[in-house]
Chain A
Amino acid sequence: MSTTAAPLGTAAPAVAPKAETPFRRFVSEFAASRLALVGLVMITIIALVAILAPWIAPQNPYDLAQLDIMDGRMEPGTVGGAGFTYWLGTDDQGRDMLSGIMYGLRISLMVGAGSAVIACVVGASLGMIAAYAGGRTDSLIMRLVDLQLSFPAILAALMILAFLGKGILNVVIALVIVEWAYYARTVRGSALVERRREYIEAAQCLALPTRRIIFRHLLPNCLPPLIVVGTMQVARAIALEATLSFLGLGVPITEPSLGLLIANGYEYMLSGKYWISFYPGVALLVTIVSINLVGDQLRDVLNPRLKK
């Protein structure tokens, strides 16, 4: 705690003791867990690798001209015909696994984060409307949520993909349909509490339009639990996408995500060529665990019940 009274918001980093802003308090509370920090660093690295994959990967795994079938199923650490070392081995088509994983991460993260964002927008809007409107609208939306949540995610996703067929877009649609209910329930819960507060009453007295009250007044105050659920749901979405792709119902074979890379190695596993499935799985695991670690800590920090 700084004892110097610095005016709020005028944070000049060069001048020594910093004022305590809500954001700084949040940062220091978050950093209290070393495990969560490790998770955050890992997520950053993974995201950077995924974004920069076309520039840092040794090979473009989608470009068939760059693949040498003679280099197929090489063990990790072998030097290939193209002159560079396959640190994580190659798959059956001579694709460098390291490059494959970097590009696979792109697809996995894109699908995971993308579906989470869309599901969040859809779910949060519906949850907010349910809480604000109440009555019939509320019970209709919440019935839908209950119905959705009573079926396991994998089953609902399977059903939707059985209708729509494969493809990145269809996977995103399936994930959104599976996930929106979590956001709706979370937002409705906190919005029901918030809407009885005085500031909402004040806004209503000012005769502000309902849309403005919902999105400018109610929504920002319901954000913390939404952020927590959102983080966890990104991890879930990535895991679910990988599972669907592994089952052959997810992304197309031309742009393999981590799940599909693992599936490709399945048949070679029985002959002891472990690396084709093993390393993409490790990448997937590290990604999911890191996101969960960060989400866990966010939940503790943002939960007002745990505050003294």
Chain B
Amino acid sequence: MTVFILRRLMQAALVVLAMSVLVFIGVYAIGDPVEILISPEADQIERERAIHALGLDLPLWQQYLVFLARAAQGDLGRSFVFNEPALQLILQRMPATLELAVSATLFALLIGLPLGLYAGLRPNSPVSKGIMAGSILGFSLPTFWVGLMLIMVFAVQLGWLPSTGRGETVEVLGMRWSFLTWDGIQHMIMPAFNLSLFKISLVIRLTRAGVRETMLMDYVKFARAKGLSPARVTFVHVFKNILIPVVTVVGLEFGGTIAFSVVTESVFAWPGMGKLIIDSINVLDRPVIVAYLMIIVLMFVTINLIVDLTYSVLDPRVRLEAKS
């Protein structure tokens, strides 16, 4: 087991390292950072001095090593636009994104589970067919367009919900959160729902398939034969068992939700990490782009690592395969 964990850790470190090379070359080698960093009025001597000070006269591999050494100390450069450390800038916006992603996941479970359960229990009823057709639509609809339509209907025409922004926030543990104020919650409903659309469809389909499979199991038949009420069979015997795969997949999808919040945040002007990266790409704020990409890569590698390790604990076949 230890060997397996070490191996997986080394693989993860290798992936992060490879991605850091890619990101570094991609962002710094393409295009000339000098033009952005040094004012155009600077004369030749000043220019050269600045280039030397920034280490831009070194060969690319040396520049990369400097970048790596700094990154290891948590220094990913300063934003050109905000003139703040890039890492700090992103971490400041992380709560907004996390808040959105968590509430989208909750939405997906709260809406998806009951609908999927119903569709699984009554597969032939017209309502179930409607639910399934709706889930196909949920997969096909372009998220950003649905977001715009939500704004149009609920903010512009009905005026029930605020259209954009984050609303009032409360500071807890040094971070600002929206979900603790009524105004903040109102601002969050539409973006969270928009972000959860795809996941709702996913949960509906998983739940339905799970229910249909579980209903045929012997223990369900036995519970029925024992004379338990249908409600008890459904909610205790069936529901508990389908919850495991559904929660696993939804958990796995969490990283994807954070990545996809880029789109939702842009539509609803939600001041999270996603909006920051889009703005940074548009103004070529390189340190922020690099910092964001490195954080996201680190996050995904960590998620994948945790999933792999959990699986290997649960399923011995995985580690045996790795050994041979």
CB distance from A68 to the nearest CB of B (A): 26
Answer whether A150 and B300 are a contact pair too, CB < 8 Å, given A158-B262, A162-B27, A284-B145.
yes
Q: Which of A222-263 contact B (CB under 8 A)?
A: 235, 239, 242-243, 246-249, 259, 262
B136 adjacent to chain A (CB < 8 Å): yes
When the two chains form their complex, are residues A247 and B151 in contact, meaning their CB atoms are under 8 A apart? no
A292 adjacent to chain B (CB < 8 Å): yes
Give the A interface residue count (CB, 8 A). Answer: 39
Tell me which of B35-43, B80-88, B90-98, B276-284 binds A.
B276-284
CB distance from B237 to the nearest CB of A (A): 30
Answer whether A163 and B26 are a contact pair too, CB < 8 Å, given A262-B145, A292-B140.
yes
When the two chains form their complex, are residues B144 and A243 in contact, meaning their CB atoms are under 8 A apart? yes
Specify which chain A residues have a CB less than 8 angstroms from the CB of B137 in the assembled complex: 289
A152 adjacent to chain B (CB < 8 Å): yes
Rounded to whole angstroms, the CA-CA distance of A21 and B144 in the bound complex is 45
B121 adjacent to chain A (CB < 8 Å): no
A159 adjacent to chain B (CB < 8 Å): yes
When the two chains form their complex, are residues B152 and A269 in contact, meaning their CB atoms are under 8 A apart? yes
Please encode chain A, from 197 to 231, with 1 for each CB lying within 8 Å of some chain B CB and 0 for all others.
Answer: 00000000000000000000000000000000000
Answer whether A270 and B145 are a contact pair too, CB < 8 Å, given A150-B304, A162-B289, A288-B140.
no
Specify which chain A residues have a CB less than 8 angstroms from the CB of B282 in the assembled complex: 248-249
When the two chains form their complex, are residues B262 and A151 in contact, meaning their CB atoms are under 8 A apart? no
When the two chains form their complex, are residues B26 and A159 in contact, meaning their CB atoms are under 8 A apart? yes
Q: Which of B103-144 contact A (CB under 8 A)?
A: 136-137, 139-144
When the two chains form their complex, are residues A243 and B281 in contact, meaning their CB atoms are under 8 A apart? no
Specify which chain A residues have a CB less than 8 angstroms from the CB of B143 in the assembled complex: 243
Tell me which of A6-14, A94-102, A184-192, A274-282 binds B.
A274-282
Specify which chain B residues have a CB less than 8 angstroms from the CB of A247 in the assembled complex: 144, 262-263, 266, 278
Rounded to whole angstroms, the CA-CA distance of A158 and B281 in the bound complex is 9
Specify which chain A residues have a CB less than 8 angstroms from the CB of B145 in the assembled complex: 242, 262, 277, 281, 284-285
Q: Which of B35-92 contact A (CB under 8 A)?
A: none
Please encode chain A, from 28 to 56, with 1 for each CB lying within 8 Å of some chain B CB and 0 for all others.
Answer: 00000000000000000000000000000
When the two chains form their complex, are residues B263 and A285 in contact, meaning their CB atoms are under 8 A apart? no
Specify which chain A residues have a CB less than 8 angstroms from the CB of B228 in the assembled complex: none
When the two chains form their complex, are residues B26 and A155 in contact, meaning their CB atoms are under 8 A apart? no
Q: Which of A121-151 contact B (CB under 8 A)?
A: 147, 150-151
A266 adjacent to chain B (CB < 8 Å): yes
A164 adjacent to chain B (CB < 8 Å): yes
Specify which chain B residues have a CB less than 8 angstroms from the CB of A150 in the assembled complex: 300, 304
Specify which chain A residues have a CB less than 8 angstroms from the CB of B140 in the assembled complex: 235, 239, 285, 288-289, 292
Contact residue range for chain B?
Answer: 35 or more
Specify which chain B residues have a CB less than 8 angstroms from the CB of A151 in the assembled complex: 259, 300
Rounded to whole angstroms, the CA-CA distance of A292 and B155 in the bound complex is 31
When the two chains form their complex, are residues B157 and A272 in contact, meaning their CB atoms are under 8 A apart? yes
CB distance from B290 to the nearest CB of A (A): 9
Rounded to whole angstroms, the CA-CA distance of A82 and B78 in the bound complex is 53
When the two chains form their complex, are residues A292 and B136 in contact, meaning their CB atoms are under 8 A apart? yes
Max count, chain B CB within 10 A of own CB: residue among A158, A239, A248, A274: A158
Specify which chain A residues have a CB less than 8 angstroms from the CB of B293 in the assembled complex: 159, 162
A161 adjacent to chain B (CB < 8 Å): yes
Answer whether A242 and B148 are a contact pair too, CB < 8 Å, given A158-B262, A248-B278.
no
Specify which chain B residues have a CB less than 8 angstroms from the CB of A147 in the assembled complex: 15
When the two chains form their complex, are residues A155 and B296 in contact, meaning their CB atoms are under 8 A apart? yes
Specify which chain B residues have a CB less than 8 angstroms from the CB of A285 in the assembled complex: 140-142, 145
Residue of A nearest to B30 (CB): A163
Max count, chain B CB within 10 A of own CB: residue among A160, A247, A292: A247
Specify which chain B residues have a CB less than 8 angstroms from the CB of A162 in the assembled complex: 26-27, 281, 289, 293
When the two chains form their complex, are residues B300 and A262 in contact, meaning their CB atoms are under 8 A apart? no
Rounded to whole angstroms, the CA-CA distance of A243 and B15 in the bound complex is 27
Rounded to whole angstroms, the CA-CA distance of A274 and B145 in the bound complex is 12
Rounded to whole angstroms, the CA-CA distance of A161 and B281 in the bound complex is 9
Rounded to whole angstroms, the CA-CA distance of A36 and B181 in the bound complex is 48
When the two chains form their complex, are residues A262 and B139 in contact, meaning their CB atoms are under 8 A apart? no
B194 adjacent to chain A (CB < 8 Å): no
CB distance from A98 to the nearest CB of B (A): 18
Please encode chain B, from 283 to 311, with 1 for each CB lying within 8 Å of some chain A CB and 0 for all others.
Answer: 00000010001001000100010000000
8 pairs of A and B residues whose beta carbons are closest in the complex: A163-B26, A281-B145, A152-B259, A155-B259, A152-B256, A289-B140, A162-B281, A246-B144
22 A-B pairs in the complex with CB atoms less than 8 angstroms apart: A150-B300, A152-B259, A152-B260, A154-B262, A155-B259, A158-B277, A162-B289, A239-B142, A247-B144, A247-B262, A259-B144, A266-B267, A269-B148, A270-B163, A277-B145, A281-B142, A281-B145, A281-B148, A281-B149, A289-B137, A292-B140, A296-B136
Q: A248-B278, A270-B163 are in contact. List 18 more A-B contacts (CB 8 A).
A: A147-B15, A151-B300, A152-B256, A154-B260, A155-B262, A159-B293, A162-B26, A242-B142, A243-B143, A246-B263, A265-B148, A284-B142, A284-B145, A288-B142, A289-B136, A289-B137, A289-B140, A292-B140
List residues of B whose CB falls within 8 A of some A CB: 15, 23, 26-27, 30, 136-137, 139-145, 148-149, 151-152, 155-157, 163, 255-256, 259-260, 262-263, 266-267, 277-278, 281-282, 289, 293, 296, 300, 304
